[in-house]
Amino acid sequence: MPAIGTGRIKAKPADTLELRLSRTLGPVLTLVYDLVRVGTPAVSIDRVQWNDDDFVRSTPIVEVLDKTGAAGRYKINLIPVLMPPNTDLRIEVWKNGTVVYGRNLLAGPVDFHSISITRT
Amino acid sequence: MKAISALIMLLPGSAFAADYLCGNSELSQLAARELAKSTIAQVIEADTEAAAPAAPKTNQSTAPAAAGGTSAVDSPERPRWVSLAIEQGLAKENDLGGVTISISPFDWLLASAPDGHFDDNGNFVATRDLRRLTGSLTVGNRGVALDSDGDGVAEDPADAKSLDDSLLLDIQYRFYGSRERRDIVVDRRYLERQQDLALAANRLADQAAGLVGDDEFDTAIGIQLETDAPPITEPECKAAAKVVATSLQHRVDLKNRAVGLQALRASTSSSVDELVKKVDGSLVMSVGISMLDRKEYLGPDRVGVTLRGVKGFPDTSDPTAGESLVFNLGYFSQEALAEGSKRMRGALLGVEFVDELNASMRFGQGRWAVSLVAEKNWEAPANAKKSQALLGLRYEVPVSDSITVPFSLKWSNRNELLQDESEVVGHVGFSINFDSLLARDGP
């Protein structure tokens, strides 16, 4: 699957944003989704944690980013912990039904994954 | 410039598209590491760059006869269902001139399922119990050395004149344990460790939120990576990360968060490695039955049961290395060919110790193994020995990423057990197997 976009997404208040997550070739041991309002200090406004059972029930997992409705800057932080060696997590952000961001994360050393959203 | 970059992205196989696309996340990760580097955390950063451990070579996961050669040459003599199995990749010619056909339910399911169906972990895990049962049917195997004229000298083993002159059925049921990493999510033995990982990921999320959600950090990233900017190259990305880190040197709180983030990454990655080692080293046990029915000129019929097991002992300091112990306990009953003689019965003990060497070799991981197979027979024919033993030493040398050449040295008290060896001197046989060098992928 191709890499799409830079991960800095601009959207108007009326735009619908969705985060879509799917995995293949192995299990997701755990995946934290954290929606953060940018500031000093930053404020976490929504957090969900999934595991492979959740992917079994629904693939892709779709999280509507409606808590980013107000104007401002937000960060989607994802912490995927994937089973080596083959698990492949696909992360997509859809704006009004179109993919504006896409990345495949392969199992490896654990790291955070961050996407910026600016509502203007 | 933007247009050229966008064009490069669209070109199939271009370095940009295939190798690197620096985006917000990649730049944030690199900037966080640069920020941590500027303090005491260089050591931690280096620790987190270890490669993901590769899946171990599995032992005893399929019935023994299923481990055959690599040729897939078709023949007009074969029954149509055998040809079908070959077309599906479920049958292979083996080293004894026969054809081994998988009768494992999952193999047939995999061959008949739509492409990618089992890429989904849910679909794969749903077949967990089905995968416990494996088996194979082998037809047309060469026979064993027989002294058919009674002169005390065994003749060369005869080739099967027809595929159905020799039928070998192997069925194995794995009744305890699994080393399949994809099944871990439904295995309660690992539940506690997965819960620990969930807590660790939550702590990582807290740390990441405070760092990348900081106004100044996000602004510094945004300056380097505009919303609609074209992708930047790996060197540009690294340079941008250094600029971000330099601009934040006055923020001690962010530097501390960056250090904490790297430490949490390292410890969480280590926890995953520990979990993987536990899965790879777990005890797996299976029971198998084997039935051999063949014409008299190929040798006696035989039926047997075997208990098989494998236990791993992962290397605590190297996730790619470790040892494992494979054992077989068997009992068989063999048809008497000579008139008036009784069925021969036998007990078999097999032990193999395998040591995976670390991955510092040029092309990958080598391994060596030592094995002992001992057999004690009862009611054996007068001219046969009552016991036999085979001691083997094997060393597998990786010569490329996908090719391994095994060297083997075997000693046996009965030379007929060394018939597969290239050279036999006294009771010692030596062979080098170059099959993997000659193997070709199918069309």
- Residue B55 predicted with pLDDT over 70: no
- Residue A96 predicted with pLDDT over 90: yes
Q: Which residue has the higher pLDDT, B79 or B303?
A: B303
**ipTM computed for the complex:** 0.95
Per-residue pLDDT band for B171 (boundaries 50, 70, 90) equals very high
Cβ contact, residue pair A84, B276, below 8 Å: yes
Residue A27 belongs to a domain? yes
Q: Residue B426 has which token pair? A: 């006294």
Cβ contact, residue pair B205, A23, below 8 Å: no
- Per cent of chain B over pLDDT 90 is 45
A5-9, A23-27, B17-21, B211-215, range with the lowest pLDDT: B17-21
Which pLDDT score is estimated for A63? 96
pTM greater than 0.80 (yes/no) = no
Task: Give how far B44 is from chain A: nearest CA, Å.
Answer: 13
A56-70, B88-102, B420-434, range with the lowest pLDDT: B420-434
The answer to whether residue B227 neighbours chain A at the CB level (below 8 Å) is yes
Which pLDDT score is estimated for B387? 86
Which pLDDT score is estimated for B400? 73
- Residue A100 predicted with pLDDT over 90: yes
Cα-based distances in Å from B331 to A21, B196, B335:
52, 44, 14
Domains of chain B, by residue range, sit at: 21-41+190-277, 52-177, 315-443
Task: Give how far A66 is from chain B: nearest CA, Å.
Answer: 18
Angle at alpha carbon of residue A57, lines to A55 and A59, rounded to 5°: 50
Residue range B140-163, pLDDT digits in tens: 999 988 877 777 777 888 999 998
Q: Which residue has the higher pLDDT, A47 or B155?
A: A47
Average pLDDT over residues B410-431: 71
Cβ contact, residue pair A49, B202, below 8 Å: yes
Residue A3 belongs to a domain? no
Average pLDDT over residues B231-255: 91
Which pLDDT score is estimated for B86? 72
Which pLDDT score is estimated for B82? 66
Average pLDDT over residues B254-268: 95
The answer to whether residue B212 neighbours chain A at the CB level (below 8 Å) is yes
Is the separation of the CB atoms in B207 and B255 below 8 Å? no
Task: Give how far B220 is from chain A: nearest CA, Å.
Answer: 13
Average pLDDT, chain B: 79
- Residue B58 predicted with pLDDT over 50: no
Q: What is the 3-state secondary structure (H, E, C) of chain A?
A: CCCECCCEEEECCCCCEEEEEEEECCCEEEEEEEEEECECCCEEEEEEEECHHHHHHCCCEEEECHHHCCCEEEEEEEEEEECCCCCEEEEEEEECCEEEEEEEEECCCCCCEEEEEEEC
- Per cent of chain B over pLDDT 70 is 74
Determine the residue among A21, A35, A86, A111 to mutate to test chain B binding: the one whose Cβ has the most chain B Cβ atoms within 10 Å: A111
Which pLDDT score is estimated for B379? 84
Average pLDDT over residues A45-53: 95
Per-residue pLDDT band for B80 (boundaries 50, 70, 90) equals low
Which pLDDT score is estimated for A112? 96
B84-88, B107-111, B157-161, range with the lowest pLDDT: B84-88
DSSP for residue B265: H
Q: What is the CATH number of the domain that holds A85?
A: 2.60.60
Q: Which residue has the higher pLDDT, B412 or B175?
A: B175
Owning domain of residue A98: 8-119
CB atoms within 10 A of CB B283: 12
Which pLDDT score is estimated for B90? 85
A87-96, A102-111, B353-362, range with the lowest pLDDT: B353-362
- How many structural domains does chain A have? 1
Residue A1 belongs to a domain? no
- Residue B331 predicted with pLDDT over 70: yes
Average pLDDT over residues B37-60: 44
Is omega for the bond preceding A60 within 30 degrees of 0, making it cis? yes
Inter-chain Cβ pairs, chain A and chain B, closer than 8 A: 190
